[in-house]
Structure 1
């Protein structure tokens, strides 16, 4: 049935439920799970988000923030692993930085994924309502099966 399943995780309850479904599918078909999290790019200017003035980051500050975001992304994968029994399943991890929908799609293509199993809503529900959810975008652009879990 499935040999390669990509599971994007973002720390949300929906992502953890999706990982549980993906684990069941992986066990039933001896598939490899690829856990993926995406750290978005740091904003060019954090002042506006904190109610301050529009002062650009220095390159050093931007790199420091990006590294912190990558570390937080790795913690998301660790949290997902702890929430679901993955014993007996081959699990690989990938952390990327950029736009989630684009990178999930690219990773699925690179892996030749048979399926993407993901939560229907992530940690940024409000942003998703304004810009369109990542799962919605993936369901329209992926060339493989996409399973969204609520």
Structure 2
């Protein structure tokens, strides 16, 4: 039997700690490896130097700050994991990473940091549910 692999996607929203707890629980239960996925803001395309490098550095610093507590939690859990820091759009990148990494399951939150209010399910989650080739667990 092949080793199971779980992709866990966080965005720093209020759902992220619960997503991590659930992902670690399932990884331990299944004896699975984990692929940690975080999608940061897009890098600027039409911005001259040195401003472009400064913005990229700020985006990378913010991403590291956001993911740091989750990576510490994963290290403490003892679950084997790899990290994929990707550029948005998250709704496209999460299923792509899961496919490329041959994940059996994606675990993510029901709503994230999107500014679209009043939706029953977040737009990123909705996209992942429709595009992913593996099962998706939505944590709320």
Q: CA RMSD in A?
A: 2.5
Instruction: Pick the aligned partner of 1:77 from 46, 52, 67.
Output: 67
Q: Is residue 2:31 matched to residue 1:30?
A: yes
Q: Cα deviation per residue 1:45-97 (whole Å; 9 max; x = unaligned)? A: xxxxxxxxxxx732431232122212211222212234678422112211112
Task: Describe the SS at the equivalent of 1:134.
Answer: helix
Q: Is residue 2:77 matched to residue 1:87?
A: yes
TM-score, reference length from structure 2: 0.84
TM-score, reference length from structure 1: 0.79
Q: Distance in 2 between matches of 1:89 and 1:83?
A: 10
Q: Is residue 2:116 matched to residue 1:115?
A: no
Q: Between 111-120 and 66-75, report the one with greater CA deviation.
A: 66-75
Instruction: Pick the aligned partner of 1:62 from 47, 52, 62.
Output: 52
Larger radius of gyration, structure 1 or 2?
Answer: 1
Q: Distance in 2 between matches of 1:59 and 1:120?
A: 38
Q: Cα deviation per residue 1:4-39 (whole Å; 9 max; x = unaligned)? A: 111111111212211111111000111011111111
User: Structure 1: 5+ residue runs without aligned partners?
Assistant: 45-55
Match of 1:48 in 2: none
Q: Number of residues paired by the alignment?
A: 137
Q: Between 9-18 and 118-127, report the one with greater CA deviation.
A: 118-127
User: Structure 2: 5+ residue runs without aligned partners?
Assistant: none
